[in-house]
Each structure stands twice: as structure tokens, then as C-alpha cells.
Amino acid sequence: MFKIRYKSHHDVKNVIEKMMKRKIVTPFTFNKVLKGKPESEEGGIYVHTPYCDKICSFCNMNRKQIDNDLDDYTEFLCKEFKKYGEKKYIKEKKITTIFFGGGTPTIYKAHQLEKILLSLKENFNISEDCEFTFETTLHNLTWEKLEIMEKYGVNRISIGIQTFSDRGRKLLNRTYDKEYIVSKIKDIRKKFKGLICIDIIYNYPDQTDEEIINDAETACELGVDSISFYSLMIQEGSQISKDREENKVVFKYNLVRDKELHDKFLEIALSRGYSVLEHTKITNGKDKYKYIRNVNSFSDLIAIGIGAGGRIENYEFFHLNKLISFYAYDNELKMRVKKLSGILQYKTVKLDEIKELSGNSYENILNLLKRFEKEGLIKLNDKMMEYTLDGVFWGNSITACITEQMINDNK
């Protein structure tokens, strides 16, 4: 079937970047775009906080353990909001999704958080129905901070639970035990009017059937609005990677076991009324996840903060630090390849959309889809393709295969 199981849309993007050259452009070229008029009204904002007060053992994200009070970074973000908010291009945008990621965006003190959110509100045209998300942990989400967040329009929180298993939580360096986190989520549900979403990691070292079943059942019983679930990715730089190298942790990836755990979790959630939104996310129907729709459609996403990456039209940009940012231009073909990879993230995809984006590759891609149908990975009719349960597991590998076909057809 496939030699490699790609576990996230980031893996697919890496495949595209390796096969299609990146054209680096100057800040002058990028800023010229910001002086013009946007083609579309809607856009999003991503704000990155590269700090945590506790580092998860599996994490190698752009973050470091906090060693100051973050007053300087608070001021930096407010200045960046003002700088971008003054650009003609962005003044004419209506912001329909905002995402504070990290790191841990709830690491700020309450007065810092209020200052950041007030500045954001003052500098951007935020729509009334904007989806406004904060990633958070439970140990630094105080009721005072939650009230401030809700006051400024935050209506969706994403909590990094990872697992409800006490053994698993210790392994992943998470704070608190199952009893506490279940109680805390119930309390948040009573006090917070917005959506509550959680992250779950499966296939960590020696995870048992009982642990994955418990994770699925507990999440469903809590009635969280969506669940992002990822197979553990042990990457260079994470603590668990270092522990494995020093033989402190034994973990040998087993594809068969990976699929067993994935399917057990998904089958339980689907039987409890959840549905697949995309390859790694399920929802109870309330969470539409506008932010990931922005990302998958490669729409305008204004990136602010150290470690933040975003896009304006055909230009991607990434802030390495306070002084250095990188800018790259995607030609028309690369944009279509990326947008094709984006629509293929969802449970069902219209064939007309695949045809429009793939152009002269459509017949070859359709042959691939027919092959995947024979392998039981998708279902096809005259208008749609739909992933099966097996197809959801292999979804990013399927997407990578299709995008590779399109790139090779256009060489």
C-alpha cells in the first residue's frame, strides 16, 4: 500500500517543498504587497508565543522555557499589531479567525494578557463572528485569565491534554492526574461559553488498549467539542528523543499497532456521535475549525510573533526572531498543488474541485483515486470522494501521493 505513513499535513507540505523549489524574495517585495489592495476581504491572524513554563517530553516546537516575566515580549507583540494594522492591505481585511498558538499563550500574567488582547482589538477589523482560539494548558489557565479572554472575544480554547492516563501523562511530562483534569474541564464548561477542544496523542511507548479506550471514552463523556488526535511523533530535539537515545525509554514504531490504536479511538468516538472533520480531527458538529480551513485553503494569514509563519496572497513568511523574517513566493502551479493538498485533508472532497486544481493531471489523479477505491481507502461516486476509516488513517499519505503525481506531471 504505502511505504510511509505521513502523520500530519506538515509532512505533506514538506514533500511539496522538497519537490518544488522555493523562491526567496526580499522584505521590500513583500512589503510592496502590503501597500496594495487585497483581492479577498476575509483573512486570519496567527500569534505565536514561543514560551512555556513546562516543556512536554515530545515537543520540539519553536518554544523555550520561560526565564523572565514576558513584559518585553508583551510590548513587542503590541508594536507588531500596530505595525501590521497600519498597512493598507490589512486595514481592508476583515479578520474572521484568530489563533494564539505556542508554546503556551496562556503563560502571560493577567495584566499582560489584557494588554495584548486590547491592542489586537484596537489594530484590526475583527468580524463579529470571528472564531478566536487560544491554545492552553490546564495548569496556567486561571479563572481570571479565562474571564479576560472571553471579555475580548475568545470563543474557543484548545487544551493540550494528550492523554488521560496517569502513566502516559508522566511519560509525556504533563501536569496533574486524570481526576484533576476531568474535574477542571467540567469546571471550565460551567464558566466558559465558548468551544472546548482538546489534543490527544496515541501510540506513545507501551500504550495499552485500555489506555486508548479510556482516552476516547473520557473525552466523549466530557462532551468536548472537538478532538485533535495524533500518533506520537518523536522528533529530534525533544526530551523523549534524547531519552530514547540514552535507552531511558524504549519505543519502536510499529505500523500495525499504530493503526490498531488509531481505529479503536476513532471507532469509539464515531459511535458516540462525533464525525471526522479532517484526517486528524473529529468534531461533535459545533466546532467548524475556521482556522484550519484558512490554513488548508492557503488564504491570507497574518503571522505575528517570534516563530510565527503565515501567508499573504502567494507569499509565505516566517519570523525567525524579532529582527529577521524570511519571505518566499509560490508560483501559480505550486499554489494549486498546495490548495489541492489542502482540500484533500477533509473527509469528503468534490471531484470538480480536484479537477479544477489539478488541471492536466486530473486523469492520472482519477486513476490513483480508482486504485485507492479498490484498496478500500476511499469511496467514489460521480461527484465526490470520501475517505473510509482506513483512508482516514492513511489520509496524509494519500494526499502526498496525489500531490507528487501532479508535480511530476508538470515537470
pLDDT in tens, 225-270: 999 999 998 655 545 555 555 555 555 789 999 999 999 999 999 9
- Residue 253 has a pLDDT of 83
pLDDT digits (tens, 9 = 90+) for 291-310: 999 999 999 999 999 999 99
88 neighbors 144 (Cβ within 8 angstroms)? no
Instruction: In whole angstroms, give the CA distance from residue 158 to residue 171.
Output: 21
Pairing label, strands 195-202, 94-102? unpaired
Rounded mean pLDDT of the chain? 93
The answer to whether residue 352 scores a pLDDT higher than 80 is yes
Convert the pLDDT of each residue in 102-126 to its tens digit.
989 999 999 999 999 999 999 999 9
Ranges 108-122, 140-154, 239-253, 343-357: which has the least confidence: 239-253
Between residues 194 and 1, the one the model is more confident about: 194
Query: Is pLDDT above 80 for 334?
Result: yes
pLDDT at position 149, please?
Answer: 98
Bridge partners (DSSP) listed for residue 317: 310, 327
Query: What integer pLDDT is reported at residue 54 of this predicted model?
Result: 56
Given a cut of 50, whether residue 60 has pLDDT beyond it is: no
- pLDDT tens digits along 270-279: 999 999 999 9
Q: Does domain 1-21+331-411 have CATH number 1.10.10?
A: yes
Residue 397's pLDDT band, with cuts at 50, 70 and 90, is very high
Where in the chain is CATH 3.80.30.20? 40-297
Residue 84 pLDDT grade (very low, low, confident, very high; cuts 50, 70, 90) = very high
- The one-letter amino acid at 389: L
List, by residue range, all CATH 1.10.10 domains of the chain: 1-21+331-411
The CATH number assigned to the domain with range 40-297 reads: 3.80.30.20
pLDDT given at position 240 = 53
DSSP 8-state symbol, 200: E
Which residues, in sequence order, are CB contacts of 217 under 8 Å at separation 6+? 268
pLDDT in tens, 5-45: 999 999 999 999 999 989 999 999 999 999 999 999 999 99
Report the pLDDT value the prediction gives residue 234, as an integer from 0 to 100: 61
